[in-house]
Amino acid sequence: MKQLISLEVNGDTHEIAVEADATLLSVLRDNLGLIGAKRGCDSGGCGCCTVHVDGKAVYSCMMYALSAQGQEIVTIEGLGTEGKLDPVQDTFVKEGAVQCGYCTCGMIMTAKQLLHDDPHPDEHAIRHGIAGNLCRCTGYHKIVEAIKTAADN
């Protein structure tokens, strides 16, 4: 049975009818059309569904939509402004830190918290920080370099 909930996503309030066991990821993608967060492993192992909830990076596939009520949700679509990328997004583009792109949105959301918590991480801290995000193309080198560059900028 569906129930009506209210979610704050990227600064907007959405009233949505959801099943009680709907995940935040499914609501973002299937109800709100925010397809930046990807459905990868769908079990909290790959990180491509990472979004921010009250400023913290979480696996949206592992949070029930009902549990996300009353919290501020930010997805990759909520970064930057119209026509202007967020600095971390911009760095990923300029550094070419993308292969197939499936992990990219999650990587950037994780990198955002990493750089917020530690504005000048060394390589070890970066690699440790993105340990919850997999790149199946194994393109970690450029991702790490992009996060380093974003920190330097």
Partner 1 sequence: MALVKLKEFCIPESPGQVSACAAKYGDNALILGGGSFIHGLEARGLLSEVEALIDIRKLGLAGMAATGEGVRIGAMTTFAELEKLPELASAAWLGALKDALTYPPMQIKNVATVGGCIAASCPFFDIPTAFLALDAKLTVSGAGAKREIGLAELFAGLFENSLEPGELITEVRLAKPAGRAASAFIKLEGTANDLAIVNAAVRISVDAAGVCQEVRIALGGGVGDSVVRSASAEKLLLGQKLSADLIQHAAEAVGQDISPMEDHRATAAYRLAMAKVITRRALNQALSRLN
Applying CB under 8 A, the residues found at the interface with partner 1 are: 1, 3, 20-21, 23, 42-45, 47, 50, 53, 56-59, 61-64, 66-67, 69, 110, 113-114, 128-129, 131-134
Residue 9 CB, nearest approach to partner 1 (Å): 18
Kindly report the number of other CB atoms within 10 A of residue 12's CB atom. 10
Residue 40 Cβ vs partner 1, minimum distance, rounded to whole Å: 12
Least distance (Å) between residue 149 CB and partner 1: 20
Closest to partner 1 by CB, 20 vs 100, is 20
CA distance 114 to 108: 10
Could you tell me which residues come within 8 angstroms of residue 118 by beta carbon, excluding any fewer than 6 positions away? 125, 129
What are the tokens at 36? Answer: 């930046």
User: Shortest Cβ distance from residue 32 to partner 1 (Å)?
Assistant: 19
Complex with partner 1: residue 94 or 128, whichever CB lies closer: 128
Q: Which is nearer to partner 1, 16 or 62 (CB)?
A: 62
Whole-number Å distance between alpha carbons of 99 and 70: 36
For residue 52, count other CB atoms closer than 10 A to its CB. 22
Shortest Å distance, C-beta 101 to partner 1:
20
DSSP 70-85: TSEEE-GGGSSBTTB-
Identify which of residues 65 and 146 has a Cβ nearer to partner 1 in the complex: 65
Written as six digits, the tokens of 82 are: 């119209």
In the bound state with partner 1, the residue whose beta carbon lies nearer, of 43 and 93, is: 43
